[in-house]
Every structure is written in structure tokens, then in C-alpha cells.
């Protein structure tokens, strides 16, 4: 958010003293007008709270087994008990940790790698651009999820490999957006001014161009977090993700498959957790797009 | 125009070659020796070395590449190294119609839901129906397709017993057996797709309805239905077709996961089983087949684009 204010300021640098409202206050004002963004912020806030404090607020140990098995939702176990007597709510709460962690870390990694490539391609042009974009275009032609599946096939399963695989699958999205932004911003006068003052290429790229290219990148990052969460759930569900004991949403669903005809709650609730998370992130992403006034991200070429 | 199409076709072939090459080298050149790791289960070092020699994996990578590529051009994708040692090309050819059936039916179902939903919500903007469509679109995008598949099985197969829960029957054994096995998985794959298309149709219809030629059509006193279906809708479809390529990506990715829910042995199931069995020739073959469908579906979308929008003529 500060970047937008920054970009407006860049035009008339003399008014540096003008106070701009903080990002948080802007957002709070926006929420009053947009019910969906409000819903998203509250739900995501609750999920983040649940994830951070899961060890303290979850009613049971997520892996503690009990002889009481396959019980439906009740007062003591609000979302029911699974086939091994484990409390479903506690497991899903701990799953939130992993899902959000994977979602955020993969997008951060993919964003850093993709933006670096995209900025370099856009700034240097020529053969750097050609080499980078040939690869990016190739990857762009394929669904991210299929790329992630193939990368897991190459690297092997497990949490770290899943994170690496999903992040690599996102490189093309960020590279394309960053490159497109750099191509426009490169022509601005303040870039020429910086160059005249003797600023180095890397200083111009990272200090002068990138901050002004951040708005669409942030919007893309938000949307990507929700896709990354779906991708992780999908990989875990297929048995390619995090292994055995760890309670991830996808894995809980995969385990539940054999019992769903007898225990509907094992199938319904993990999916609802995934859906609520993705829904709230998408709402926030739409709101950010509105606030930043970014066109549909897929339009950026 | 044929020049353009020829160039696009050659481009698609180059992409396929690049993908095949990347797929080949990633399994061999990535540090950590992925194929070695896959063969780990075979037994002691000697057994692994013997198997590697038999598979030609002891030769220099570029020799392997040329050999592999030459065989692939002849349709020979090698043999599975797991279980029955069956030819990969046979596995792929058996799986192909299943995945194509699923993807095709998902497409049909998605369009059948999305077109009326998008049209209604654009015409009756801000009505209750419009809100319902918007909510459906948001939920459809947020719902994991494999979870939707499980929910459909619980409701329509396990409880109502209307449709079979899992499996696949070829079309040659009759339309209904084929169709009934594919309805639930197609809904699971098609729903996110329908959500995207419905939203696209809504927003592009709203754009078109604002234009001058819409006013002209209304001023001429044309019937409302005619204005919408004949004058507005075809123009509103153009931006929708542009994102079809992305949508095809979604269908393929969806099919890969959902096949596993419904135990349909299509390319997705073959791919995942290949990975879990550490069967690298099968993984290679399946990923190449998925890529090929994808690349040529995109090509088809491009051609469709020229048909739908007569203003576009690809002359150089």
C-alpha cells in the first residue's frame, strides 16, 4: 500500500512532507464499503490466529488416538472423531498451520525468483530478455499444478520438496507481470534522472523501478497464495505431499476416503476449511485489486 | 490465414520438442539422481547397476537422449519398470480416451452451466439470481475439485444410489454406461471452469450491452431475446474465448486429480501411480501425453478464435 502513495509522490517530490494515511487505516476504511473483503479479513484473521496458537487452543493432541472412534460431531468433539479416535477439529487446526505456511512460503519464494527474472528481462532487454522469456513462455503454456506434480516426481515427496515444486511452478506468473511493469516504468523520467545521477543498474532496478511495480505483483501474490493452498491440498491428497502423520487438509481428506460413506464429517469438514481459506483470500485479493486499481492480472502482458 | 495456422502448428511442435527435452533432462540432470532414487527399491548396488545397464542408463546422457528421442518419434516410449513391464505407449493409448472423455464432458457441462448463468446475471444485474450466480462462482473457484468429487460420491452414489461411485466404461459398451460413470467426475472437474466462464460472460456482456450498436438494435425495435442472443452474445464471447487457453489448463489439471478420486485409469491416474511406483518411463510418457493434449488444445482454441471473430485475420 505504501508503494502506491510512493508512486504518486514520485511525480512531485517536493511534497514529501504531505502525510499519507497508513495502509492499515486505508484498509479499515475500505472494509466498511466492501462486505466480501470484510468477511475475508475476519475469516483469514481467525485462521491465522488458529494456526499460530494451534498448540494452545486445540482441544486435543492432533495425533492422540482413542478407543472412541468414528463418532460424529458432539459437544466434546465439535467436528467429530476419525477412524483412529483422533479429534478432527484439533487435526484441522494443526493442518491450518501447514496450509498457510506452504501457501505463503511458496508464493514468497516463487515471487522472489520470478520477479528477479522478470525485472532483469525487462530492464536489460536483448539476449537476457530472450533467454529468460523463452523459458517463462514455455512454462506459461502449462498448468501450474501439472508442473508442480512433475517437479515432485523429479525431487521426491515431502514438505520441502512440495514447497520447492510449487514455488518453481509460480515463477512464470511473476516474471511476466514484473517484466511488463518494468517495460513501462523504464521509460519514466525519474529513471533517466537516476541514471544521470550515476545510479548503478542494480540500484535503478531494485530501488527505483521495483517499488513502483509492486501493486500488480502484490495482487498476483495474494491470488497465488490461494492457488498454492489448493495445490498443496491436491498434492497431499494424491499422496505426493507431506507424508503420513502430519495432519494436512489434503491428507486428512485422502485418509477419510475409505470411510466417507459411514462418517460424512471426515469428508465434509476438511474441504470446508480449504474452501473458507481460499474464499477469504480470493475476497481479499479482489479488494486489493480494487484498492490498487490493477486490471485483471492475466491481462498484463 | 493458412500461413498463420501453419506457423502456429510448427510452434506447437517446437513447444512439444522443448517439453520432451526438458522432461528428459530433468529426470537425469537434476542433482540427487532421481532415476537412481527410483531404482533404489530394486535391491543391492549390483542389481541396480545391472538394471541401469539394461535400461541404457550407464551411457552418456546425450547418447541416451538421441536414442530416446529416436524411439519416441517411432511411438516407442519404453517399457514400464514396475510390475508387468508393459509398454508405456500401450498404457498411454489406453488411458487417453478416458482422459479425453472426462475433459470433453467436463467442458460440455461447464459451458452448459456457465452460459445461461452468465447471461442471466448480466441481463438481470443486481437481481437475486445475479447474486446467486456470483456466490456460485466464488464457491466454485474456492472448492477443491477432488473434495467436490468426494461430496458428489457421498450424495449421489453412496446415499441416493443414482450413479456409480467409481470406475469407467468405454463408449463402445454403450452410451449410458459410459455417460453415467463420467457425470459425477465431470461435474467435479467442470465446476471451477464454469465459475470462471460465467464471471467472464457476465462482465463482457455488461460491456457489450453498454455499446452504441446495442442502442441501435433497441431503437430498431428488435425483440429483447434477439438482441441478446444474436447481437450481444456473439460479441461478448470474444474475450471469453481468449481465456479458453487458461481454462483448458484448468480442465487438464482438474482431470489429473479427479481421475484419482473416481478411480478412472486415465492419464492423471497413470501419472500419479507412475510417480508413486517410481516408474520413470511411465511418468515421462504420461507427462508427455498430458502436455501434447494441452499444447494442441491451445492450438485449437487459437483456430476457434479466428472463426468466432471475423475481424481477426492473421496476415503477416
**Per-residue confidence (pLDDT) for residue B30, from 0 to 100:** 63
Share of chain B above pLDDT 90, in %: 15
Cell of B276: 508413486
**Per-residue confidence (pLDDT) for residue A298, from 0 to 100:** 41
Q: What pLDDT digit, counting tens, does each position of B282-295 carry? A: 988 999 998 888 88
Cβ–Cβ under 8 Å, residues B207 and B235:
no
Q: What is the ipTM of this complex?
A: 0.85
- Give the count of beta carbons closer than 10 Å to the beta carbon of residue B239: 16
Q: Are A275 and B246 in contact (CB < 8 Å)?
A: no
Least Cα distance to B138 among A281, A79, A180, A90 occurs for A281
Share of chain A above pLDDT 70, in %: 87
Interface membership of B16 toward A (CB under 8 Å): no
**Chain center to CA of B195:** 16
B211 DSSP assignment? S
Restricting to B residues 281-310, those with a Cβ less than 8 Å away from any Cβ of A are 283, 287, 290-291, 294-295, 298
Q: At residue A5, does pLDDT exceed 60?
A: no
Asked which of A62-66, A245-249, A286-290, B158-162 is least confident by mean pLDDT, the reply is: A62-66
How many CB pairs below 8 Å do chains A and B form together?
A: 121
Angle of CA points B303, B309, B310, to nearest 5°: 100
Q: Indicate the angle between helix axes B244-261 and A210-237, nearest 10 degrees.
A: 30
**Option in B144, B256, B274 nearest A230 (CB):** B144
Instruction: Residue B144: list chain A partners with CB under 8 A.
Output: 230, 233-234, 237, 250, 271, 274-275
Dist. CA B123–CA B136, nearest whole Å: 17
Q: What pLDDT digit, counting tens, does each position of B19-72 carry? A: 888 888 887 766 666 666 666 666 677 777 777 777 777 788 888 888 888 888
**Per-residue confidence (pLDDT) for residue B42, from 0 to 100:** 62
Q: Are A155 and B30 in contact (CB < 8 Å)?
A: yes
Beta bridge partner(s), residue A87 = A81
Cβ–Cβ under 8 Å, residues A54 and A97:
yes
Residue A87 backbone phi and psi in degrees, to 5: -75, 120
Residue B85 backbone phi and psi in degrees, to 5: 60, 30
Q: At residue A118, does pLDDT exceed 90?
A: yes
B159 DSSP assignment? I
**Per-residue confidence (pLDDT) for residue B310, from 0 to 100:** 66
If one compares A18 and B235, the residue with the highest pLDDT of the two is B235
Q: In the structure, what pLDDT confidence band is assigned to residue B169 with cuts at 50, 70 and 90?
A: confident
Cβ–Cβ under 8 Å, residues B34 and A155:
yes
Q: How far off is chain A from B299, nearest CA to CA, in Å? A: 11
Average pLDDT over residues B247-269: 88
Q: What pLDDT digit, counting tens, does each position of B66-97 carry? A: 888 888 888 888 888 777 778 888 999 999 99
Q: Are B147 and A274 in contact (CB < 8 Å)?
A: yes
Helix runs in B153-279, H state only: 175-209, 212-219, 224-226, 233-242, 244-261, 267-276
A21 DSSP assignment? -
**Per-residue confidence (pLDDT) for residue B28, from 0 to 100:** 76
Q: At residue A231, does pLDDT exceed 80?
A: yes
Sign of CA dihedral B84, B89, B90, B96: positive
* Distance between start and end Cα atoms, chain A: 23
The answer for residues whose C-beta is within 8 angstroms of residue A161's C-beta and 6 or more apart is: A151, A152, A155
Q: In the structure, what pLDDT confidence band is assigned to residue A297 with cuts at 50, 70 and 90?
A: very low
Least Cα distance to A231 among A160, A149, A291, A157 occurs for A149
Interface membership of B155 toward A (CB under 8 Å): no
Average pLDDT over residues B207-230: 79
Restricting to B residues 78-97, those with a Cβ less than 8 Å away from any Cβ of A are none
Dist. CA A244–CA A241, nearest whole Å: 9
Instruction: Residue B142: list chain A partners with CB under 8 A.
Output: 226, 274-276, 278-279, 282
Average pLDDT over residues B150-169: 84
**Per-residue confidence (pLDDT) for residue A228, from 0 to 100:** 93
**Per-residue confidence (pLDDT) for residue B271, from 0 to 100:** 92
Residue A81 backbone phi and psi in degrees, to 5: -125, 145
Q: In the structure, what pLDDT confidence band is assigned to residue A25 with cuts at 50, 70 and 90?
A: confident
3-state DSSP percent of chain A in helix, strand and coil, to 5: 75, 0, 25
Least Cα distance to B147 among A233, A211, A297 occurs for A233
B33 DSSP assignment? -
If one compares B222 and A146, the residue with the highest pLDDT of the two is A146
**Chain center to CA of A187:** 31
Instruction: Residue A153: list chain B partners with CB under 8 A.
Output: 27, 34, 271, 274-275, 283, 287
**Option in B30, B143, B271 nearest A275 (CB):** B143
The cell 519514466 sits on which residue? A188
Cα A137 to Cα A174, A243, B240, distances in angstroms? 12, 33, 21
Three-state DSSP class for A187? coil
Instruction: Residue A170: list chain B partners with CB under 8 A.
Output: none
B15 → chain A, closest CA residue: A138
A-side interface with B, Cβ within 8 Å?
138, 141-146, 149-150, 152-156, 226, 230, 233-234, 237-240, 250, 253, 256-257, 260-261, 264, 267-268, 270-271, 274-276, 278-279, 282-283, 298
Cβ–Cβ under 8 Å, residues A62 and A86:
yes
Amino acid at each position: 500500500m505504501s508503494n502506491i502513495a510512493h508512486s504518486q509522490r514520485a511525480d512531485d517530490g517536493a511534497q514529501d512532507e504531505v502525510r499519507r494515511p497508513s495502509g492499515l487505516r486505508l484498509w479499515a476504511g475500505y472494509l466498511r464499503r466492501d462486505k466480501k473483503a470484510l468477511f475475508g479479513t475476519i475469516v483469514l484473521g481467525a485462521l491465522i490466529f488458529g494456526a499460530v496458537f494451534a498448540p494452545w487452543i486445540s482441544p486435543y493432541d492432533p495425533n492422540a488416538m482413542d478407543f472412541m472412534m468414528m463418532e460424529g460431531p458432539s459437544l466434546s468433539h465439535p467436528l467429530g472423531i476419525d477412524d483412529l479416535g483422533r479429534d478432527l477439529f484439533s487435526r484441522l487446526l494443526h493442518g491450518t498451520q501447514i496450509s498457510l505456511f506452504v501457501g505463503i512460503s511458496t508464493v514468497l519464494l516463487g515471487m522472489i525468483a520470478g520477479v528477479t527474472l522478470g525485472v532483469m528481462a525487462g530492464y536489460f532487454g536483448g539476449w537476457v530478455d530472450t533467454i529468460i522469456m523463452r523459458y517463462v513462455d514455455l512454462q506459461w503454456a502449462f498448468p501450474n499444478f501439472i508442473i508442480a506434480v512433475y517437479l515432485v516426481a523429479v525431487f521426491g515427496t515431502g514438505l520441502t520438496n512440495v514447497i520447492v515444486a510449487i514455488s518453481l511452478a509460480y515463477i512464470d506468473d511473476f516474471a511476466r507481470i514484473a517484466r511488463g511493469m518494468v517495460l513501462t516504468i523504464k521509460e519514466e523520467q525519474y529513471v533517466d534522472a537516476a541514471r544521470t545521477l550515476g545510479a548503478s543498474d542494480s540500484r535503478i532496478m531494485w530501488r527505483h523501478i521495483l517499488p513502483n511495480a509492486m501493486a500488480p505483483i502484490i495482487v498476483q501474490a495474494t491470488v497465488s497464495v490461494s492457488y498454492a493452498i489448493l495445490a498443496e491440498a491436491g498434492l497431499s491428497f494424491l499422496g505426493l505431499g507431506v507424508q503420513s502423520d502430519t495432519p494436512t487438509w489434503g491428507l486428512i481428506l485422502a485418509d477419510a476416503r475409505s470411510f466417507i460413506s459411514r462418517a460424512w464429517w471426515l469428508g465434509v469438514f476438511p474441504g470446508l476449511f480449504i474452501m473458507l481459506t481460499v474464499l477469504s483470500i480470493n475476497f481479499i485479493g479482489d479488494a486489493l485489486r480494487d484498492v490498487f486499481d490493477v486490471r485483471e492480472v492475466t491481462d498484463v502482458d | 490465414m493458412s500461413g498463420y495456422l501453419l506457423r502456429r502448428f510448427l510452434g506447437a511442435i517446437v513447444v512439444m520438442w522443448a517439453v520432451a527435452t526438458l522432461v528428459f533432462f530433468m529426470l537425469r540432470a537434476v542433482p540427487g539422481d532421481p532415476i537412481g532414487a527410483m531404482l533404489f527399491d530394486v535391491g543391492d548396488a549390483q542389481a541396480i547397476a545391472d538394471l541401469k545397464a539394461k535400461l541404457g542408463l550407464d551411457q552418456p546422457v546425450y547418447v541416451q537422449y538421441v536414442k530416446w528421442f529416436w524411439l519416441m518419434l517411432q511411438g516407442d516410449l519404453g517399457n514400464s519398470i514396475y510390475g508387468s513391464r508393459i509398454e508405456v505407449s500401450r498404457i498411454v493409448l489406453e488411458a487417453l480416451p478416458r482422459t479425453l472423455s472426462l475433459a470433453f464432458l467436463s467442458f460440455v457441462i461447464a459451458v452448459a452451466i456457465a452460459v445461461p448463468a452468465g447471461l442471466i446475471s448480466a441481463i438481470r444485474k443486481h437481481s437475486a439470481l445475479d447474486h446467486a450466480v456470483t456466490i456460485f462462482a466464488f464457491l466454485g473457484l474456492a472448492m477443491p475439485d477432488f473434495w467436490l468429487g468426494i461430496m458428489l460420491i457421498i450424495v449421489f452414489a453412496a446415499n441416493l444410489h443414482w450413479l456409480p461411485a467409481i470406475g469407467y466404461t468405454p463408449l463402445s459398451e454403450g452410451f449410458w454406461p459410459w455417460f453415467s460413470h463420467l457425470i459425477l467426475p465431470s461435474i467435479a472437474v467442470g465446476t471451477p471452469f464454469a465459475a470462471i466462464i460465467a464471471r467472464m460472460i457476465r462482465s463482457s456482456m455488461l460491456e457489450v450491452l453498454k455499446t452504441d450498436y446495442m442502442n441501435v438494435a433497441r431503437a430498431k425495435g428488435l425483440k429483447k431475446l434477439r438482441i441478446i442472443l444474436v447481437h450481444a452474445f456473439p460479441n461478448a464471447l470474444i474475450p471469453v474465448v481468449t481465456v479458453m487457453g487458461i481454462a483448458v489448463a484448468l480442465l487438464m489439471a482438474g482431470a489429473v486429480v479427479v481421475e484419482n478420486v473416481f478411480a478412472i485409469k486415465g492419464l492423471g491416474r497413470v501419472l500419479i501411480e507412475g510417480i508413486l511406483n517410481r516408474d520413470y518411463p511411465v511418468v515421462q510418457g504420461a507427462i508427455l501425453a498430458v502436455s501434447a493434449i494441452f499444447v494442441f488444445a491451445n492450438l485449437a482454441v487459437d483456430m476457434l478464435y479466428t472463426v468466432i471473430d471475423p475481424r481477426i485475420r492473421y496476415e503477416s
